Amino acid sequence: MRRKASFGFGSFGTLPMLILALLMASTAVARAGDGVSLKLEKDLIKIGTFYNGTTIEAQGIVPNGAEVVIRVTGHPEDLALKKKGKVLGLLWMNVSDITFKNAPEVYMLYSSASGQSLLEDPKYEFSFPALERRIEIEPAGEDFDFLFGEFIKLKEKEETYASFTSAVHYPEESDSGRVFSVTLNVPPKMKKGDYKVDLFAVKDGKVVGSASSDLKIEYVGLPKFLDDLAFQHALLYGLLAAGVAIAAGLIIGSIFKGGGGH
């Protein structure tokens, strides 16, 4: 059910010792002690008119011998969906409302090929099984396992939930620690807002260190204008949307009418 992807080093990771020096000196590094650090290539993404997703390089240091897991999450939300079922044994229709409570907007995990088993281990709080324990489904009494599985499939289709099990690379180990590099995916469905990038260093079955960085996505240009219009001038936005829909219908009707005359 999980997707696998392999990313290269990009512009990072070509000079491991230089990376190490920069990480130790940079004020942009998120630190949490225990020889663990995390640095993002950038912490702000601007979505313009022709935006279609992007990637971000991340790098850091963990203790030698430790495996890296990176988790990207969005704010928890309550997501209301329609449950479909057969009516009179014939027609598929919406039969009830289902609400997934405390479900993160985004949940993406990254590991190396050797550390991929960590992503499915329920004892780690960053794993997908641990996520299942945090999400609640209402009304109570529904088939939780089935509905949770369908929810994950839906979010994976949107590319906002995913696990990338060959994404973390280790250029080098030194006396200062193990340098890692990873390419983080930012799909088009990640909307404006604040996100968290967490690093977990796992060694001998235990999380021995962690660090985190903030990632912000904002609209610019036309998307920002439309977003501001929708939230600050809802009536005007509705009239504009209706006008665009009517105009599009008239244009399409004119085209088909003109084509029918030949």
Cα dihedral 13, 36, 185, 170 sign: positive
Residue 166: CA count within 13 A, CB half-sphere? 6
pLDDT < 50 positions in the chain: 1-28, 31, 261-262
* Model pLDDT, residue 4: 40
pLDDT computed for residue 237 by the predictor: 55
Q: What pLDDT, on a 0 to 100 scale, did the predictor assign at position 94?
A: 60
Which token pair is 20?
Answer: 């190490």
Question: What is the reported pLDDT for 144?
Answer: 87
Q: Are strands 54-62 and 177-186 parallel, antiparallel or unpaired?
A: antiparallel
Pairing between strand 161-164 and 37-40? unpaired
Q: What are the distances in angstroms from CA 49 to CA 35, 150, 228, 239, 260?
A: 41, 32, 15, 21, 35
